[in-house]
Structure 1
C-alpha cells in the first residue's frame, strides 16, 4: 500500500482559494482528509453549508460560490480522499465505495459533528452526500443535488459516462486539466487548469481519479449497491426541503435529473430550474448564479 501527500508548494499559485484548511485522519491506516471551514461573514448567518465535489476535481471547484454562501453561514468544503489536498493511495485497489463513504462520514460527524446541514453536492459528492443524508436524515436540513444521482445498480448510465470511464481507465497519462475543460462550457485559463492539476504531483497519485468511475454501482451486486438502495428508499420518504439544480448541457449525468427530482418528494415543491449554458462542472460555469439560487432556496424554506 502506498499513501502519499501532495507537496504544499503545488498549491502556491492556486487562484481565489486561499482559505485556511485542516487535515485530519479518517481511516484506520491514518489517511488524512483535507477540508476548508469558512466562518460566516454576515450578521445572523447561522446556516451550515456543506459543499461536496466529485472527480477529478476538488474543493477549488466551489471557489465562486463560497463568498455568497459565507454571508449566510458556515461553509465546509472537504476534499475526498485521492483528490485535492487529501492523502492519496497510489494503488487503485485501495479505493472502494465504502472507503469514500466511511471516511467522509468520519470527517463530517465524528470530527466536525455537523448538524442542520444544507448539502450542496455534485457528481460523486452527490452520490456520497445523498447516501449520507439518507442514512443520517437528522443531520441534514436541506438538499441541493446538482448533476449527480443515487446509483443503486438499477440506473442507466449515459453513453458519455461509459466513454469517460473507459478513457480514464486505459489512458497512460491521465490529463486532469483536459477532463475538466471538456466538461466545462467556460474556456478555462491556464491558471485555473493548473489549479485542477495541482493535487497530482505524480502519475501514481492519480490512482483515485482513475478508479472513481468503476466504484459507482452499475449492478445490484456491486459493492455499495445495497447501501445506495437503502439510502434511495429513505430519500423517497424525505420530508425536508430539496432543490434539484442541474445544468442544461451535461451529457454525463443529465439523464439523472428527472429520476432524482421524482425520487425526493419535496423536490417538486421547488422551482423547476435549469442552470443554462453550463456543462457537468456547473460550479465552474455558473458558480455565482448557483450560489444565489441556493441562498434563495434557504430563504424560502427557513
Structure 2
C-alpha cells in the first residue's frame, strides 16, 4: 500500500453540532478507522453508514435523537474519509477492499442485531455487509442508494463520474451543497472540507465513483452473489428515498420487488436531495425507529 494520510486533529476543532467523542480501531493492515459511538452500550446497535464524498458529520442531526431513544448509534468513517486513514494512491481503493475493511471493523466490535441505516456508498458497503453476515442484522433502512450489478449508469451519475475523474478541482463541501436542497452554512461546508486539506487526501473521494458497478465492472459477480442473499432476507427492510435525487430516483423499486423483508418495511418518501441527512433528518430518523420497532415485533413474534 502507498503512503497513508492521517488528517491532523486540529482540522476538526469547532465543527458545528458535532460534540461527539472520537473512537478508533486499528485494522490488521495498520489502517485506522474512526467512528462515533453514542447511546447506551447495551442498546440495539444502529449502524449509520455515510457515502461519497461525505463522512460521519453527515449524520450529526440524526445521532442524538436515535441515541436518546435508547439505541447504540455507531457512525464510522469509511477508509479514505473523515477522521479515518486515507491511502494516497487511487489504486489502493477497491470495492472489495472497502467491504473487507468495514467487515473487519464490524466484527471486531462484535455487533449483533443491528439496524443498518445507509445512503450512497454507505449502501454499497452496508448492503454487502448484510449479504456477508445476514445473521448479524435485524433490519435495514435504505435511502438514496443501492446495490448495482452492472446496469447502465444514469446520465446524472455518468456526469458525476466524469467530473470526479477529470475535474482539476474537487471541492468536497461545494459538492455536498450542490447535492443538498437546503443552504448549508459556511461552517457546515467547511466541516465537509475539513478531512481533505491536501490533493493526496482526496484520492478515495476521487476514485469512488469509478468503483461503482454501473456498467462493466470487476465487482459485478460479487454484487450478484450479494443480491442472491438479499433475495432471502426476510427481516424488516425499509426504503426511505427522497423525492428530489436525480441519481437514485426510482431505485427503491428493485428492493421492494426482490427483498422479502420489504413487505415488512414502513416505506416512505423523504423530502430533499441526494444527501437526505441534511434535508430531512427527522424523516430518516422516523424510518429508523419504525424499522427498529418492526424488528422487535418480528423477533418477539
- 1:274 corresponds, among 261, 265, 269, to 269
- Residue 46 (structure 2) aligned to one of 44, 49, 61: 49
SS at 1:14's partner residue?
Answer: coil
The reply to whether residue 13 of structure 1 matches residue 14 of structure 2 is yes
- Whether contact under 8 Å (1:68, 1:292) holds in the other structure is no
Aligned ranges 1:284-299 → 2 under 5 Å: 284-299=278-293
In the TM superposition, 1:53-68 aligns within 5 A as 53-68=50-65
Q: CA deviation at 1:169?
A: 0.7
In 1, Cα distance between the equivalents of 2:250 and 2:185? 29
1:66-145 correspondence runs (5 A): 66-70=63-67, 71-109=69-107, 111-145=108-142
Cα distance, 1:27 vs. partner?
A: 4.5
Alignment match, 1:36: 36
Alpha-carbon distance in 2 for matches of 1:55, 1:288: 21
Alignment match, 2:194: 198
In the alignment, is the contact (CA less than 8 A) between 2:95 and 2:219 conserved in 1? yes
**In the alignment, is the contact (CA less than 8 A) between 1:147 and 1:246 conserved in 2?**
yes
Does the 8 Å CA contact 2:48/2:75 hold for their aligned counterparts? yes
In the TM superposition, what is the alpha-carbon distance from 1:264 to its structure 2 partner? 1.1
Q: TM-score, normalised by structure 2?
A: 0.94
Which residue of 2 is the match for residue 166 of structure 1? 162
Secondary structure of 2:7's counterpart equals coil
Cα RMSD of the aligned pairs, angstroms, is 1.5
Asked if the contact 2:39–2:70 (Cα under 8 Å) also holds between the matched residues in 1, the reply is no
Asked whether the 8 Å contact 1:90–1:206 carries over to 2, the reply is yes
Partner of 2:145: 148
Once residues 165 and 112 of structure 1 are traced to their aligned partners in structure 2, the CA distance between those partners, rounded to angstroms, is 34
Distance 1:4 1:150 in 2: 29
Q: Distance in 2 between matches of 1:108 and 1:270?
A: 24
Note the C-alpha offset of 1:80: 0.2
Q: Distance in 1 between matches of 2:165 and 2:40?
A: 41
* Alignment equivalent of 1:240, drawn from 235, 244, 255: 235
How high is the TM-score relative to the length of structure 1?
Answer: 0.93
What does residue range 177-192 of structure 1 map to in structure 2 within 5 Å?
177-192=173-188
Q: CA deviation at 1:105?
A: 0.5
Q: Distance in 1 between matches of 2:199 and 2:165?
A: 13
Query: What SS does structure 2 have at the residue aligned with 1:247?
Result: coil
**Structure 1 outlier segments of 4+, above 4 Å:** none
SS at match of 1:246: coil
SS state of the match for residue 237, structure 2? coil
- Taking the aligned partners of 2:6 and 2:77, their CA distance within structure 1 comes to 13
Q: Which runs of 5+ in 2 are unaligned?
A: 297-301
